[in-house]
Amino acid sequence: MSISLVSNSYLDENSAKIRAKPVPWEGYQRAGLVTSEELSLIKKVDRQSRSKIESLLVSDGQTYALLYLRLLKKLQRIDTQSCILVLIADALTDHEERIPLFTSAAQTDPELPYGPLLRILDSQDDFVQLKATQILTVLLSSEKSSLQPQQIHPFLNTLALFVVNPSPNKRDVAVQCLEAVLARPECRKAVWANASLVGGLVDILRHNPTPQMNYQVGFCLWLLSFEQEVAEQIQKRFDIIPLLVDVAQGAAKEKVIRVIVATFRNLVSKAPQANLPAMLVAQLLPFSKNLAGRKWTDEDIVEDIQFLRDELSTRFESLTTYDEYRSELLSGHLSWTPVHESDLFWKENATKLNDKDYELLKILIRLLNESNDSTVLAVASHDIGQYVKHYERGKKILTDLGGKTRVMELLSHQNSDVRYQALISVQRLVSHPWAAV
């Protein structure tokens, strides 16, 4: 991997300034922090032309890789650390063959190469933090053996702080770093275990980023979706499907749609039961049919769209009205679809809310307790009223499950539709003697 894969204008501009700054190497030698041999070596590359440094790296690459890492390990000043990091990055840029010169340093000192780089992730200096992150990304993603937790976790914790940072440079670098390391299975598992990191990625999508950032975050989610556990849980934990549909519907760039469709393909293939309800409610089938009618330049996207359209058509065509209602409930995204206001539907299906130990009824009550969406609260309140209207014994069940108390609390909700639907349901809850008593 080339270091240019993690590029950022802030890093480029500051690196150029740092190359021209003097560092008091002689002072370090007088203080006993640098040996005379180290001083001699570093002076040969300090503020020298790129061609001169390149010729030294060609002949003494391993020597300089160890020198840079040892100096980084023992020197604490921000300006010196910045200089060393720039020297390391310059050595690696466009020279993948030099990566082993750094990763093999562990044979000389077990703390190298990662110890000094991970330590300075805690630096108070933005450039040092970001430059160390850039270099770590190259080294970690190129390791031949499996990465160890002590290597991955501090790195990912730093990225988790970056993705929620107001600084666009930190968010940009963090997402690029994740794109690179998520190709490794052990990194995918470690990222998934870091809830704040995944949550930060999802939150970036919720705030209308640039098309390029949409693509990069989508690429990260696509890589994550290759993990079975991720495919099974990401919708439940992060409500990702309606968000990705919204992003794809608003995308002008083909590559954004391509990576989102590829993510949906993984979710359908690996965990249909966990993801199909939300896909049904988010209208992914009509959207995929719409996509299938467009012209595309990339053959992969055509294949993925056709797969998604055909798979969803097969799975959805046999659904009953009740199946669709159940999917809507499981997704948590209730809206005024025709089924809610159909008396025939409730007459035929009200008692099915009691199945599997009142599974769907408990979901309705949970939505009433947890949702902040006025439409969801209004529809759920309405459905509670329909349930007791068509199933008299449901009044006691609702009371025992806490549903009656919550509906009564919603009588004072700020939204008029929620208040109205709650009022209708309360009237039905108290209007007749309880047949179940």
Express each pLDDT in 352-391 by its tens digit. Answer: 999 999 999 999 999 999 999 999 999 999 999 999 999 9
Q: What is the pLDDT of residues 335-363, one digit of tens each?
A: 998 889 999 999 999 999 999 999 999 99
- Predicted pLDDT at 436: 43
At 4, the pLDDT band (50, 70, 90 cuts) reads: low
User: Angle, nearest 10°, between helix axes 195-206 and 149-163?
Assistant: 30
Q: What are phi and psi of 164, to 5 degrees?
A: -105, 5
CA–CA gap between residue 232 and residue 301 (Å, rounded) = 23
Mean pLDDT of all residues in the chain?
94
pLDDT in tens, 49-94: 999 999 999 999 999 999 999 999 999 999 999 999 999 999 999 9
pLDDT tens column, 267-292: 999 999 999 999 999 999 999 999 99
The arithmetic mean of pLDDT across residues 19-48, rounded, is: 94
432 falls in which pLDDT band (50, 70, 90)?
A: low
Query: Are residues 182 and 224 in contact, defined by beta-carbon separation less than 8 angstroms?
Result: yes
Token pair belonging to 165: 């940072």
Specify the pLDDT at position 225: 98
Confidence at residue 3, expressed as pLDDT on a 0 to 100 scale: 59
The yes-or-no verdict on residue 434 having pLDDT over 80 is no
Per-residue confidence band for 435, with pLDDT thresholds at 50, 70 and 90: very low
CA angle 292, 298, 304 (to 5 degrees): 50
Provide the b/e sequence for 203-217 (b: ≥16 CB within 10 Å).
ebbeeebeeebbbbb
